[in-house]
Amino acid sequence: PFKTLDVEGVGALIEMACEKGRNVRPDLKCGVCGEHGGDPESIGYCARIGMDYVSCSPFRIPAARLASAQAAIEMDEAAKGV
């Protein structure tokens, strides 16, 4: 029902689920689908917490790919201290 993930509520639960799942199964793939999978802000959050993929409706793919690339660049720059 919401356009962007509530990172303090639902986002914290998603992050905890991914972390706990990967503690048991390190090769676990985590992702999000639906409207959140096509929302640029949600995609950025999912990338920052280490999710493996997002899935969205076909008409949102261009924006999702751009948001994913931007998140990857931002994380790379942060890792380099730029």
> What H or E segment, with its residue span, contains residue 53?
strand 53-55
The confidence score (pLDDT) of residue 2 equals 65
pTM summary value: 0.87
Residue 1 has pLDDT above 60, yes or no: no
The confidence score (pLDDT) of residue 11 equals 93
The per-residue pLDDT for range 23-81, each reduced to its tens digit, is 999 999 999 998 889 999 999 999 999 999 999 999 999 999 999 999 999 999 999 98
The per-residue pLDDT for range 3-23, each reduced to its tens digit, is 788 999 999 999 999 999 999
